[in-house]
């Protein structure tokens, strides 16, 4: 098992190295000169040359790549062209919003979806099942930025319970920060909950017909014991797969919701960096996204190993 | 236009562009309706709340002295675009000036809310008879926020830095006319010019010309230090910038009236509206969604003021490329456009038609909308005369900002009526647009807002994207720039405007309105925007 984990970890490092090259090449060929964007259309050639030199854009691509990767290895992500501050700090500030937001969404989605999905699978083809599936279908059809707008309308504009957007920072107090994150987290969680409900229900329904469940029934175990001791633990494998996918989606794909709530998250940082051709920021953020996806996949695989002893013997 | 264009453009739409594009028309309609419902419910709630507040106020008045009702001392101002750095002398984005100019940084002179030049760190000045020597008498006792004194040597440093070889000042061309800057004594600064420059004082009033001092100049991008009424406190990137009144401000007679200012950056217009209604933001000096503006005009919690900006929306043509090298073709296209209708379609009827590259804000403005007022029959005959009796086909490169895409769609329909087929090519702004249109000159027509005040001189630049070449025009602009007498200069600018209106190097469409919205109790905001800015010196809460 240790060897298995070791091999996975080595693969992880190799993937990251490849990703860093792809990210650099792809962002480097984007049309648009960051210096020209900063100086605008009044810029004179000499002003432009001075700024390109100041930003290190006059260096050849290989030199810039090596400087970037070298910096990454020593923990320095370079300096943002747009903000003029170290990228590491910039990303850390954004992670302090994005990670809690994604975590909160996952928790909300699980609280909504798991009981509902399990109950629906357990009470298949009963009114509860139909109700749960109707909820799941609706939740996953609604775009999350639209849910966000509706939540703002109800809870910020009408009731005044929550701010309509923005993030006061953790320094403003846990309560205030959570208050700012709750509506966007719900907006992100609802479509996820829809998917998760369906996955949980399907897993329960499929497992209910399996041999080991029939065997358990044959032993005369009660319905509850069969559900909670035998079916649910086995249903966790597909559920965790989906959770892993959702988490990475929430980190990278929350741009629209971050816009609706004007949250300073990583998605919006990447979005801005594209528009301003802040390549230093863009490259580091994409690499971070890639790292998160890879690490989360790795963790999901580890979870499989913990949940399913049969996998531990695999090569 | 500088980043002017980009910023301004983005101001009008914000980085939410992508999301709005996805929503499409159906959703927009739903959201609009939702907006109306909110307005109505808000009004009902408000009336109830007012009654309660009034009752409370009456009961408290009996107990407490009026001093207990101290007015609020902080204000939250919303902006669509977050600035890139906080040094207006280092990069062009308009948002930099909108946060820092007059709040943190000041210049030798400033431009006031009417667009007039006023003394600031220079108390007064004299201009030599040949118009080539400016002698400034500097204000004494002025200190920067870091405690350094301002004097003639600091002023010399700031100007020499702006015009120096390594300068990345976005308006470096302003300073190219300067021959030498001399600090005669701490209170006297002498600027000598290579040739007379009638606009020098106006240029010195711009955000790009503010005074900085040697010790802090390098870090101004993230920790701005100036002589203004507010000190920089904190910048939470992506969210807000906080400023605080400087207790040691040099102008004790006119300090800032607000203790604390928070700029919040909200790109999405729906989110802007929600933030105002929820009370998260007290003011949006430039609100981004004209279609939601009407609701705020009816809501008596807010004051909604339509002012003028300097942002001229024009559809520039490639004057070097067929068929736009033929003046008659350009004139025919101008004749095909019904500007009031276009403004209705593009910006909910808010905005002012223009006939040349000049706004009604600017001194010396001439109304030239009548020169080629909408006349389709005349347009068709001009096209025939130019050899295109059956019209022609061309492409327009359109940035993703909503004012540009909507205007282009309306233009397309109007040009179709005279047999001209226009194909819309979406072009990412600023990156792709700058490289293809601005520097590459690879386009037939394009459409952007030019945000910089008094930038009519761009048509005299040989390498500028319009490719407009007119020796007489260039000569008029040159003479205007060298004329120090105000009246004569404005007359020349009038002539230049008329030349453009007749030659139509670009389709002159409209001036973007400044859709200001702020709490009814807030006073002191600028209604117009003679220069892109948010001067908060005079802003105050009043009951």
pLDDT tens digits along B244-294: 999 999 999 999 999 999 999 998 888 999 999 999 999 999 999 999 999
Cβ contacts of A158 on chain B, cutoff 8 Å: 38, 41-42, 45
Cβ contacts of B316 on chain A, cutoff 8 Å: none
Residue B70 pLDDT? 61
| Phi-psi category of residue B85: left, alpha or beta, with phi > 0 → left and psi -120 to 50 → alpha | left
Cβ contacts of B240 on chain A, cutoff 8 Å: 166
pLDDT tens digits along B70-97: 678 999 999 999 998 999 998 888 899 9
Cβ(B310)–Cβ(B452) below 8 Å: yes
Which chain B residue is nearest to residue A55, measuring alpha carbons? B168
Residue B89: CB atoms within 10 Å:
25
Q: Burial letters for A44-60: b for 16+ Cβ neighbours within 10 Å, e otherwise?
A: beebbbbbbeebebeee
Chain A residues 191-230 with CB within 8 Å of chain B:
none
Phi, psi (rounded to 5 degrees) for B450: -95, 115
Report the distance separating Cα A139 and Cα A126, nearest Å: 20
Cross-chain residue pair A152–B439, CB shorter than 8 Å: no
Peptide bond into A289 cis (omega under 30): no
Pick from A32, A90, A146: CB nearest B237: A90
Cβ contacts of A157 on chain B, cutoff 8 Å: 38, 41-42, 274, 277-278
Cross-chain residue pair A156–B431, CB shorter than 8 Å: no
Cβ contacts of B85 on chain A, cutoff 8 Å: 82-84
Residue B66 pLDDT? 42
Cross-chain residue pair A37–B238, CB shorter than 8 Å: no
Residue B61 pLDDT? 42
For residue B342, the distance in angstroms to the closest alpha carbon of chain A comes to: 26
Cβ(A162)–Cβ(A183) below 8 Å: yes
Pick from A37, A82, A163: CB nearest B431: A37
Cβ contacts of A54 on chain B, cutoff 8 Å: 166, 168
Cβ contacts of B218 on chain A, cutoff 8 Å: none
Which chain B residue is nearest to residue A268, measuring alpha carbons? B238
Cβ(B398)–Cβ(B537) below 8 Å: no
For residue B167, the distance in angstroms to the closest alpha carbon of chain A comes to: 6
Each of the 315 residues of chain A gets a pLDDT tens digit; together they read 677 778 877 888 888 888 889 888 888 777 777 887 777 766 677 788 888 888 788 888 888 888 888 888 888 888 888 888 899 999 999 999 999 999 999 999 999 999 999 899 888 888 999 999 999 999 989 998 999 999 999 999 899 899 988 898 888 889 999 999 999 999 999 999 999 999 999 988 888 878 888 888 888 888 888 888 878 888 888 888 888 888 888 887 788 899 899 999 998 898 888 888 888 898 898 888 888 888 888 888 888 878 777 766 654
For residue A39, the distance in angstroms to the closest alpha carbon of chain B comes to: 5
Chain A residues 102-141 with CB within 8 Å of chain B:
none
Cβ(B167)–Cβ(A46) below 8 Å: no
Q: How many CB pairs under 8 A join A and B?
A: 191
Chain A residues 273-292 with CB within 8 Å of chain B:
275-277
Q: Burial letters for B398-434: b for 16+ Cβ neighbours within 10 Å, e otherwise?
A: bbbbbbbbbbbbbbbebbeebbbebeeeebbbbbbbb
A55 touches chain B (CB under 8 A): no
ipTM: 0.82
Pick from A41, A164, A265: CB nearest B271: A164
Cross-chain residue pair A84–B432, CB shorter than 8 Å: no
Tokens of B403: 């004012």
Report the distance separating Cα B52 and Cα B61, nearest Å: 14
């Amino acid at each position: 098992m240790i060897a298995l984990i070791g091999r996975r970890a080595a693969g992880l490092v190799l993937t990251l190295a490849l990703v860093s090259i792809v990210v650099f090449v792809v962002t480097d060929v984007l049309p648009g000169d960051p210096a020209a964007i900063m100086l605008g259309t009044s810029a004179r050639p000499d002003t432009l040359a001075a700024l390109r030199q100041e930003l290190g854009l006059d260096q050849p691509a290989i030199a810039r790549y090596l400087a970037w990767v070298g910096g990454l290895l020593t923990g320095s992500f370079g300096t943002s062209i747009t903000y003029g501050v170290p990228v590491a700090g910039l990303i850390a500030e954004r992670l302090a919003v994005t990670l809690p937001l994604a975590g909160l969404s996952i928790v909300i989605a699980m609280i909504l979806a798991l009981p509902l999905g399990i109950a629906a699978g357990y009470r298949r083809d009963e009114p509860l099942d139909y109700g749960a599936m109707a909820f799941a279908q609706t939740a996953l059809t609604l775009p999350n930025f639209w849910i966000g707008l509706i939540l703002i309308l109800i809870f910020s504009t009408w009731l005044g319970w929550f701010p309509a957007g923005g993030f006061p920072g953790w320094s403003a107090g846990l309560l205030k920060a959570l208050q700012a994150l709750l509506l966007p987290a719900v907006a992100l969680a609802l479509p996820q909950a829809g998917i998760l409900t369906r996955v949980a229900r399907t897993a329960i329904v499929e497992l209910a017909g399996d041999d080991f469940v029939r065997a358990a029934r044959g032993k005369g175990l009660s319905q509850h014991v069969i559900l909670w001791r035998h079916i649910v633990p086995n249903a966790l494998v597909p559920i965790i797969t989906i959770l892993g996918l959702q988490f990475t989606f929430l980190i990278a794909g929350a741009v629209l919701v971050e816009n609706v709530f004007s949250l300073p998250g990583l998605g919006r940082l990447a979005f801005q960096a594209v528009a301003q051709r802040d390549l230093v920021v863009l490259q580091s953020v994409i690499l971070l996204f890639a790292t998160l996806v890879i690490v989360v996949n790795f963790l999901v695989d580890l979870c499989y190993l913990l949940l399913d002893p049969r996998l531990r013997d695999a090569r | 236009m500088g980043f002017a264009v980009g910023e301004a453009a983005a101001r009008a739409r914000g980085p939410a562009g992508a999301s709005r594009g996805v929503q499409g028309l159906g959703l927009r309609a739903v959201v609009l309706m939702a907006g109306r419902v909110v307005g109505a419910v808000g009004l009902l709630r408000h009336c109830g709340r007012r009654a309660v507040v009034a009752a409370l106020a009456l009961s408290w008045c009996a107990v407490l002295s009026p001093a207990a009702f101290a007015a609020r001392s902080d204000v939250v101002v919303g902006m669509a675009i977050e600035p890139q750095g906080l040094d207006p002398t280092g990069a062009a984005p308009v948002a930099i000036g909108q946060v820092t100019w007059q709040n943190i940084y000041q210049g030798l002179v400033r431009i006031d809310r009417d667009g007039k030049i006023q003394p600031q760190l220079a108390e007064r000045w004299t201009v030599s008879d040949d118009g080539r020597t400016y002698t400034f008498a500097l204000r004494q006792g002025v200190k920067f926020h870091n405690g350094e004194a301002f004097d003639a040597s600091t002023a010399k440093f700031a100007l020499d830095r702006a015009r120096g070889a390594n300068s990345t000042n976005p308006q470096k061309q302003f300073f190219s006319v300067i021959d030498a800057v001399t600090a005669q004594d701490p209170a006297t600064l002498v600027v000598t010019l290579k040739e007379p420059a009638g606009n020098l004082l106006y240029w010195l009033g711009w955000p790009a010309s503010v005074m900085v001092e040697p010790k802090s100049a390098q870090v101004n991008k993230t920790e701005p230090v100036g002589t203004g009424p507010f000190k920089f406190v904190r910048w939470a990137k992506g969210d807000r910038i906080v400023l605080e009144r400087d207790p040691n401000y040099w102008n004790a007679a006119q300090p800032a009236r607000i203790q604390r200012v928070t700029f919040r950056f909200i790109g999405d217009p729906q989110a802007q509206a929600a933030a105002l209604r929820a009370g998260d933001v007290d003011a949006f000096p430039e609100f981004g969604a004209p279609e939601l503006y009407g609701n705020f005009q009816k809501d008596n919690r807010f004051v909604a003021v339509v002012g003028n900006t300097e942002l001229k929306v024009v559809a520039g043509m490639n004057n070097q490329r067929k068929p736009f090298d033929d003046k008659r073709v350009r004139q025919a296209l101008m004749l095909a456009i019904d500007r009031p209708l276009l403004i209705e379609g593009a910006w909910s009827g808010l905005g002012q038609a223009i006939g040349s590259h000049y706004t009604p804000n600017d001194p010396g403005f001439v109304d030239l909308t009548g020169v080629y007022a909408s006349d389709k029959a005349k347009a068709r005959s001009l096209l025939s005369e130019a050899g295109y009796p059956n019209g022609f086909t061309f492409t327009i490169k359109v940035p993703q900002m909503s004012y540009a895409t909507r205007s282009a769609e309306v233009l397309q329909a109007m040009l179709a009526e005279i047999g001209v087929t226009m194909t819309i090519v979406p072009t990412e702004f600023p990156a792709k647009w700058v490289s293809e249109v601005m520097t590459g000159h690879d386009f037939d027509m394009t459409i952007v807002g030019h945000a910089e005040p008094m930038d009519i001189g761009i048509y005299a630049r040989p390498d500028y994207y319009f490719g407009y070449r007119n020796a007489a025009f260039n000569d008029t602009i040159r003479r205007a720039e060298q004329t120090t007498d105000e009246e004569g200069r404005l007359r020349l600018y009038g002539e230049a405007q008329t030349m453009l209106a007749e030659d139509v190097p670009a389709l002159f469409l409209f001036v973007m309105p400044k859709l200001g919205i702020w709490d009814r109790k807030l006073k002191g905001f600028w209604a117009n925007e003679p220069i892109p800015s948010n001067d908060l010196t005079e802003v105050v809460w009043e009951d």
